[in-house]
Structure 1
């Protein structure tokens, strides 16, 4: 086959252009810190990077859900702790009110405090966290509070309808957990607590000594059982989410490490390749200038 000056010129230009592309790629890698800028650079590695980024994004969302869930449960436990303290005080007042020798003024003082404790329970029942009601089921937002004080009416409170839904968060692939305490329609802990306090108030005001010593304390015990169950379940979920949080943080670290190993450029190695390619390019340029000086000068011009 006859080799013409045009063939030599074209081959030289092709080789010089290929070398320039490699030089540009090495410079881009050093500037960005990444081995792959475009999928076409390495389709297989690019697919692995996309898969790792997707997994990392999902893991970050799970981690955010878990942290939000822990925060919600912490606020819930704090509210239930307040409720526990209020009920303990109600029991003390019920026992004090069961004293037959108690004067009327003393009974009225006990009743006044119990009324204030009733108000406090309403406040706890309407506790918000991040602008959302803790004990309103899925009705966490809006102007309507879960419980409204209706002292003097029967019953002495209004419980909003439809506040029994669970708030469920996703903490992993196919793994979910409900983070809220649901106040059931007739057997909810706040419903029971408010009924217990209202009964204690009536018994003290009416001097129902037997009821204060027996039935009212039974109401109290039933209410405390509900609260203790709720706190136990809340604590178990807190522990589960704390363990899950640590696992997700480990996964996050591993995903980032894998992504870095696949994506990050080896600076020393890339500089070595860059220097070698620069030498190759300069040598090819010099050789080409001697072989086809006029054509090369035209090309450079």
Structure 2
């Protein structure tokens, strides 16, 4: 007579295998630190996890882009300040050069100093760049990707200070003439406007970085809640599964003993 596995015995074996699968999952979660190591564990949770993770990575990259933009603006601002300082020195020379007590040689010497400062202004403008991108030598815009979506961008303005100051007559200025002071005033007023625009762009990027940082922090917390292993909970569930597993082993052993007893009775 053939001895087959009874329904109760088969059920115990199936339950044992299920518990072993859960124990293996718990061990993997504890080892990796990740709650979702395969899509079958939580398909919906995995989808949300990946979306939030992508958003977090995009925000972090956007923060870096915004910081690069601020660095570029700081370089431009430093160059504009340097030009302003030179203009102030030229203004002092112009005030001095228009003093009637000076002779022609004195005035020529002051004009020579002013010309040297003007060359320094041109040099400062031409060297104002960030990663090879000119900031003060051409009119235009630098586009910054300041968010995870294609619609999240900001532009920072670049300027052609050389042409603008040339139009104001700065680079052909005669500091001995009374009109020179008006030309210098116009040049400084123009640079004040540029400085204000640079400052406004910096403030806007600072605000963007603060918003991105807050969003990134919230996304990171959500990613952690969904995807990271809760060690206390997992250890507790693993311990409970091991107890169930031991019970299952005992039940299977009892079932095997019962089958052995039947065989002994049949053989006697």
Same fold flag (TM > 0.5): yes
Match of 1:179 among 142, 156, 160: 156
1:191 and 2:168 are equivalent in the alignment = no
Q: TM-score, normalised by structure 2?
A: 0.85
Shift of 1:21: 0.7
Partner of 1:256: 220
2: CA distance between counterparts of 1:295 and 1:171? 72
Aligned residues: 255
Q: Does the C-alpha gap of structure 1 residues 93 and 197 become closer, same or farther in structure 2, counting only changes over 3 Å? A: farther
SS of residue in 1 equivalent to 2:75: helix
Match of 2:56 in 1: 56
For residues 223-243 of structure 1, give each alpha carbon's deviation from its aligned partner in whole angstroms, at most 9, with x where no partner exists.
222211110011111111112
Query: Structure 1 259/295 Cα, relative in aligned 2: closer, same or farther at 3 Å?
Result: farther
Aligned partners of 1:133 and 1:223: how far apart in 2? 24
| Alignment partner, residue 178 of structure 2 | 213
| 1:221-271, Cα deviation, whole Å (9 max, x unpaired) | 222222111100111111111122111111111111111111122211111
SS of 1:265's equivalent in the other structure is coil
Query: Is the alpha carbon distance of 1:263 and 1:278 closer, same or farther for their aligned partners in structure 2, counting shifts above 3 Å?
Result: same
Q: Of the candidates 140, 143, 163, which is equivalent to residue 168 of structure 1?
A: 143
CA drift at 1:283: 1.3
| Distance of aligned partners of 1:81 and 1:103 in 2 relative to their CA distance in 1, 3 Å threshold | same
Q: Does 1:40 align with 2:40?
A: yes
The unaligned stretches of length 5 or more in structure 1 are 137-145, 147-162, 184-188, 297-301
SS at match of 2:145: strand
CA contact (8 A) 1:126 1:133 kept: no
User: SS of the counterpart of 2:106?
Assistant: helix
Contact 1:79 1:124 in 2 (8 A): yes
CA contact (8 A) 2:65 2:146 kept: yes
Q: Which moved more, 1:227-236 or 1:58-67?
A: 58-67
Q: Return the offset for 1:47.
A: 0.6
Q: Detail structure 1 runs of 4+ shifted over 6 Å in the superposition.
A: none
Whose RCO is larger (CA < 8 A, sep 6+)?
Answer: 2
Post-superposition offset of 1:170: 2.5
Cα contact 2:129–2:135 (8 A) shared by 1: no
Give the match's secondary structure for 1:167: strand
Q: TM-score, normalised by structure 1?
A: 0.77
CA distance in 1, matches of 2:10, 2:182: 100
Alignment of 1:110-125 (within 5 A): 110-125=110-125
Q: Give the structure 1 partner of residue 195 of structure 2.
A: 231
Aligned to 2:26: 26
Structure 2: segments with no counterpart, 5+ residues: 261-268
> Corresponding residue for 1:16?
16
RMSD: 2.4
Q: CA deviation at 1:20?
A: 1.1
Quick one: distance in 2 between partners of 1:134 and 1:260?
42
> How far off is 1:28 after superposition?
1.0
Quote the offset at 1:199 in angstroms. Answer: 2.1
| Alignment partners' CA distance in 2, 1:294 and 1:217 | 113
Contact in 1 for aligned 2:146/2:153 (Cα 8 Å): yes
Shift of 1:90: 1.4
